[in-house]
């Protein structure tokens, strides 16, 4: 089985909130885009957070630009791993991304939010004691595999709003 690798981080010096997933799924890897699966709720959730209803319909580069403009960064807790399919439960032999080093290079960073339980578990392990430097949030997964509806996930995701100011 071949290794699957994450994408480079999407950040700039103004990033206030870094949202970390676990590892892109097969649809995202094939499209070379974060959260490319049409059933993934990420773009709808983050659209509500930044009050941009048009966000999910924008071209991918425009969506990323809107996130950067809203001071939101994206990355993944896992740099590479073996995994059949797209389920976080199937991640094996994971090599971590260096979240603490990236976070330390972001002077305005206020919070690190993890998209799903696996990202949260792996990301906290990587941050170690450095996690105390930022607000750390565990968000309900935006994945279609996490069958809780959009409305139930939205309040937790909207907790990001005050952290962006």
- Would you please indicate which residues are annotated as catalytic (active-site) residues? 40
Cα separation, 134 vs 118, in Å, equals: 19
Whether residue 56 contacts residue 151, with contact meaning beta carbons closer than 8 Å, is answered with no
The total number of residues shown for the chain amounts to 165
Strand, coil or helix: what is 56? helix
Q: Where are the alpha helices (DSSP H) in 8-149?
A: 26-31, 42-49, 60-69, 99-104, 117-127
Whether residue 23 contacts residue 4, with contact meaning beta carbons closer than 8 Å, is answered with yes
């Amino acid at each position: 089985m071949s290794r699957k690798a994450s994408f480079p981080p999407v950040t700039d010096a103004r990033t206030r909130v870094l949202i970390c997933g676990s590892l892109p799924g097969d649809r995202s890897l094939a499209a070379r885009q974060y959260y490319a699966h049409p059933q993934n709720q990420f773009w709808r959730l983050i659209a509500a957070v930044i009050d941009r209803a048009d966000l999910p319909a924008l071209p991918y580069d425009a969506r990323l630009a809107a996130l950067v403009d809203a001071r939101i960064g994206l990355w993944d807790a896992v740099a590479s791993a073996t995994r059949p399919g797209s389920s976080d439960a199937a991640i094996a032999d994971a090599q971590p991304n260096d979240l603490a080093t990236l976070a330390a290079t972001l002077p305005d960073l206020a919070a690190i939010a993890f998209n799903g339980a696996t990202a949260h578990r792996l990301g906290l392990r990587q941050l170690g004691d450095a996690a105390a430097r930022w607000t750390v949030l565990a968000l309900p997964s935006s994945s279609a595999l996490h069958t809780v509806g959009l409305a139930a996930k939205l309040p937790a995701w909207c907790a990001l709003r005050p952290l962006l100011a």
